[in-house]
Structure 1
Amino acid sequence: MRLVKWYKDFNELIMFQHSVFSLPFIFIAMIVSANGWFGWKLLLLGVLAAVSARNFAMLVNRYLDRDIDAKNPRTKNRPNVDGRFSETQLRILIIVNAIFFIAVAYVINDLAFWLSFPILLILGGYSWFKRFSEMAHLVLGLSLGLAPIAGAIAVEGTIPMWSVMLAVGVMFWVAGFDLLYSLQDMEFDKKEGLYSIPSRYGSDATMFLAKIFHTIAVLFWAFFVSTAELGFFAWLAVIASAGMLAYEHHIVNKDFTKIDRAFFTVNGYLGFIVLGLIIVDRIVQ
């Protein structure tokens, strides 16, 4: 029972369900690189790398944000604040996941191994940035945007241009929905002097910039499809993603209280719908 409770607390700490944002794009890149199925070994290694990298990023965030989370009514009951995980436990978990990620990268190939170190620096940078720069939203986007590049490296051992296009699209997609999500903490961030765009420029500017970011995301996903010379269903994926992002903005524009619905539901489905259409595209070609 203690183990089950620990697992539940750990899952609450790292919010494992948010992995749905990056995992589909890792697999999209691996499928395009392999022009189809890339093998069970790489599937396992890809999942392990993605999970350990995301665990590391979330644990660093929770560790560095202990003081902020304790003051915010929305986050004051998180496991990093209420005593369920001590500072020492958090530091150990950060180190374990970092070592595990580096070890998995080593098994994948040399390029993955050498890039694992700067990747960890980027993943851990988000929490620092929001204390002094509004660019934190883009840093978070970059953290998830590295996923498709990592997927291509796992299969090819190189960084093809189409993977960069896909990555830039993911970066602006994530930064855009993080802007919307940050609207919930706008007043708190103002009070604490945090550098979120909502706290600095207000809700109207934030929602306008989120639309710009999501437009850029769709454009770069179109560049990805073109550069990778994919087919009809891949273009359909771009159109579907544009429609889903438009719906997300419709939800938030209509009612700020629906931000969670827009954040989790729409963005959670988006990646898997795009992945499904890319799989179909590879099958029919």
Structure 2
Amino acid sequence: MNNILKKLNDFSELVMFKHSIFSLPFIFIAMVVAANGWFGWRLFFLGILAAVTARNFAMAFNRYLDRDIDSLNPRTENRPNVDGRLSAKSILTFTLLNALGFIIVAAFVNKLALILAVPILLVIGSYSYFKRFSYLAHLILGVSLGLAPIAGVVAVSETITLWSICLSIGVMFWVAGFDLLYSLQDIDVDKKLGLHSVPSVFGAKNTMLFSKIAHSFTVLFWLLFVINSGSGAFAYLAVIVSAVMLSYEHYLVNKDFRKIDKAFFTVNGYLGIIFFILIIIDTIAN
């Protein structure tokens, strides 16, 4: 039993399971807005399973491909895919099982979800390749998590609405923006290994500027989401709070690069939760 629990913990560390908090709120935001309230326990559990299996697939596939890179980076050399705790075969098996699980879950949701399942997996899996030849990898990561709101509205209404696209684009810029800041930690390693991250190509100062621009677009598209969805005052408040929190995130990083972890995990984690809570309140109030 102890060995099983240890392996589960290793796989959890491999995919950084606790970071699922970044994607879960926005799929449920889309589902609440699409249903104009509670969408039912069935879709609730299917939504969790879809988000978790998709993210597990993307993270595990990335770790599988990045074994060589992670072993050369002091920040990542102790990850389970590098230090021998998990074999390449077990990681690949885990990746394929989660891909299959995502497709099966999509089949239980509806026909459009099933049709989109494989294309979604191809998109979220492509991030692992992009950073080897293009600094647009940060945007691809944003696209991967930005698919969550579209998946949410598809699950509820089997359609793709304008407001869900606006919400998704906002998530895309949000993720790309904070990934730019997070990647500042690896600027020297990326240069050494010839990886095409924005910091290694454009430098730290420009990277921080690009992140600010990305987060400005985040606020803009979330505002367009609220307008096009016909949401009320609490939804507008969610956008305002998000803008304040993103500004605080940049304040932390500008003040001290060592605050990147706090900016990345704490601020962004709470942002999604607060946004979700305010959307629920807005739905109840209206």
Using the size of structure 2 for normalisation, the TM-score is 0.99
Residue by residue, what CA displacement relative to the aligned partner does 1:42-73 show, whole Å, maximum 9, x if unpaired?
A: 00000000000000000000000000000000
1:139 and 2:153 aligned: no
**Residue aligning to 1:35:** 36
Distance 2:171 2:242 in 1: 11
**Residue aligning to 1:194:** 195
Residue type matched to 1:2 in 2? N
Distance 1:85 1:9 in 2: 7
| Cα offset, 1:8, TM superposition | 1.1
Distance 1:253 1:91 in 2: 39
**Residue aligning to 1:175:** 176
1:114 and 2:107 aligned: no
Output aligned runs, 1:123-134, within 5 Å: 123-134=124-135
User: SS in structure 2 opposite 1:282?
Assistant: helix
| Cα offset, 1:233, TM superposition | 0.1
Residue by residue, what CA displacement relative to the aligned partner does 1:100-130 show, whole Å, maximum 9, x if unpaired?
A: 0000001100100010011000111111000
Output aligned runs, 1:221-260, within 5 Å: 221-260=222-261
Name segments (4+ residues, structure 1) moved above 3 Å.
none
Distance 1:176 1:24 in 2: 18
| Cα offset, 1:91, TM superposition | 1.2
| Cα offset, 1:225, TM superposition | 0.1
Residue type matched to 1:51 in 2? V
Using the size of structure 1 for normalisation, the TM-score is 1.00
Residue by residue, what CA displacement relative to the aligned partner does 1:111-154 show, whole Å, maximum 9, x if unpaired?
A: 00010011000111111000000100000000000000000000
1:44 and 2:45 aligned: yes
Distance 2:157 2:27 in 1: 13
Residue by residue, what CA displacement relative to the aligned partner does 1:187-238 show, whole Å, maximum 9, x if unpaired?
A: 0000000000000010000000000000000000000000000000000000
Residue type matched to 1:176 in 2? G
Distance 1:133 1:6 in 2: 34
Residue type matched to 2:165 in 1? V
Residue type matched to 2:42 in 1? K
| Cα offset, 1:3, TM superposition | 1.2
| Cα offset, 1:90, TM superposition | 1.1
1:164 and 2:165 aligned: yes
Distance 1:216 1:27 in 2: 22
1:268 and 2:269 aligned: yes
Q: Gapped runs of 5+ residues in structure 2?
A: none
Residue type matched to 1:87 in 2? A
**Residue aligning to 2:92:** 91
**Residue aligning to 1:66:** 67
Distance 1:11 1:94 in 2: 13
Distance 1:251 1:258 in 2: 6
User: SS in structure 2 opposite 1:194?
Assistant: coil
Residue by residue, what CA displacement relative to the aligned partner does 1:224-271 show, whole Å, maximum 9, x if unpaired?
A: 000000000000000000000000000000000010000000000000
Distance 1:2 1:88 in 2: 18
| Cα offset, 1:4, TM superposition | 1.2
Distance 2:24 2:174 in 1: 14
Distance 2:181 2:88 in 1: 30
| Cα offset, 1:163, TM superposition | 0.2
Residue by residue, what CA displacement relative to the aligned partner does 1:13-42 show, whole Å, maximum 9, x if unpaired?
A: 110011011100000000000000000000
**Residue aligning to 1:216:** 217
**Residue aligning to 1:21:** 22
Residue type matched to 2:23 in 1? S
**Residue aligning to 2:104:** 103
| Cα offset, 1:7, TM superposition | 1.3
Identity of aligned residues (%): 63
User: SS in structure 2 opposite 1:81?
Assistant: coil
